Amino acid sequence: MLSARSLFQEILDNDDSYRLFCSIAASGEAQGGWENARIAALVPDSMRALAPRITRHGADEDKHGRIFHALLRKRGLEPLPVPPETDYTMLLERQGIGLTHDKLRREEPLSDEDIVVYLSHSRVTEQRAADQMVMLVKYFGDHPEVGRAIRMISNDEDNHLAYCHEELLRLASEGHGRTIQRVLRESALAEIRIYRDVSLAVMSHMGRLLHWPAPKAAALAAGIHGLYTYERLGGWHRMISLRMPERRGALDGPAPAAPAF
């Protein structure tokens, strides 16, 4: 039976597919770490109080990248170059979502609106990350090789999502509500398309590595298209709602260490 559990188990059991999975994940986390570090450095004076939390967000992402590299080393594997069609972060940037790397490379302070855009974009992408990690914890949280890493990353992603909710609600109360609403909608509708395209690309690569028969590859592609249809018809609304989280101040303080990795 084709299921998320059996699919991921198959990827875990094969060194080539596992190498690709960890390489893609490590690259995405490293990009997130760099982006957040640059945003923290360029925060405008009017929002300087946010800088420590943005720095913590970036430190968490860097830690996740190191964890995926450590999982590769544990098997004696080296990371692969990430195929461009699977680069979720850069594909979102090309769609005009979030802050561009060109802007982040400059030494010019960001504007208040830039920070609102960053947090709104993050609320959408962190929802995706948190959902994925919840699924992985459900099926592989006790796995002897990856379970500890998955649980740690999932907890961090929940913190990131809580931080986005809390800060966006605060900014909405300060008069940024219309911008937040607009950027959330634009980001969510773009994200679900990019997630579909990246998922199809990743599954195509995995299919070649694992020698999937055509019917299996077609069934997986159909499932990805089905998820996109559901999200396009209304599922995307879960990515733009805002509510005060139970975890308040989720990114206060330094990032917890991960000495085991």
Backbone angles phi, psi at 104, to 5 degrees: -70, -20
Q: Using CA atoms, how far apart are residues 122 and 128, in angstroms rounded to an integer? A: 10
Using alpha carbons only, give the angle 157, 159, 164 rounded to the nearest 5 degrees.
Answer: 95
Q: Which tokens is 207 given?
A: 């299919």
The pLDDT of residue 4 is 84
**For residues 151 and 61, what is the distance between their CA atoms, to the nearest angstrom?**
14
Band the pLDDT of 259: cuts 50, 70, 90: low
Across all residues in the chain, what is the average pLDDT? Answer: 95
User: Which burial class, exposed, middle or buried, applies to 32 when counting CB atoms under 10 A from its CB (0-12, 13-18, 19+)?
Assistant: buried
**What is the share, in percent, of the chain residues with pLDDT greater than 70?**
98
pLDDT at 57 over 80: yes
Task: Please give the Cα distance from 180 to 191 (Å, whole number).
Answer: 16
In 3D space, the residue among 118, 68, 111, 113 whose CA is nearest the CA of residue 93 turns out to be 118
Confidence of residue 75 (pLDDT cuts 50, 70, 90): very high
- Residue 64 in contact with residue 27, Cβ under 8 Å? no
For residue 255, pLDDT beyond 90: no
Distance from C-alpha of 54 to C-alpha of 251, rounded to nearest angstrom? 8
Quick: pLDDT tens for 243-253. 999 999 999 97
174, 114 in Cβ contact below 8 A? Answer: no
pLDDT tens-digit series, residues 213-222: 999 999 999 9
pLDDT value of residue 135: 95
126 CB contacts (<8 Å, ≥6 apart)?
157, 160, 161, 164
Q: Which CATH number fits domain 4-239: 3.30.530.20, 1.10.510.10, 1.20.1260.10, 3.40.50.2300?
A: 1.20.1260.10
C-alpha span between 152 and 136 (Å, rounded): 12
Amino acid identity for residue 67 in this structure: I
Would you list the DSSP string of 26-70? HHHHHHHHHHHHHHHHH--GGGGGGHHHHHHHHHHHHHHHHHHHH
Burial class (CB in 10 A: 0-12, 13-18, 19+), 13: exposed
Question: Is pLDDT of 2 > 80?
Answer: no
pLDDT of residue 121: 96
Residue 258 pLDDT > 80: no
At residue 260, the pLDDT reads 64
State the pLDDT confidence band at 257, using cuts at 50, 70 and 90. confident
Residue 62's pLDDT is: 96
Using a pLDDT cut of 90, give the percent of the chain over it: 90
Indicate the SS3 state at residue 110: coil
* Closest CA relative to residue 39, chosen from 128, 116, 94: 116
- Asked if residue 258 lies in contact with residue 66, where contact means CB atoms within 8 angstroms, the answer is yes
For the stretch 130-183, pLDDT in tens is 999 999 999 999 999 999 999 999 999 999 999 999 999 999 999 999 999 999
Per residue in 100-125, pLDDT (tens digit) is 999 999 999 999 999 999 999 999 99
Is the per-residue pLDDT at 46 higher than 90?
yes
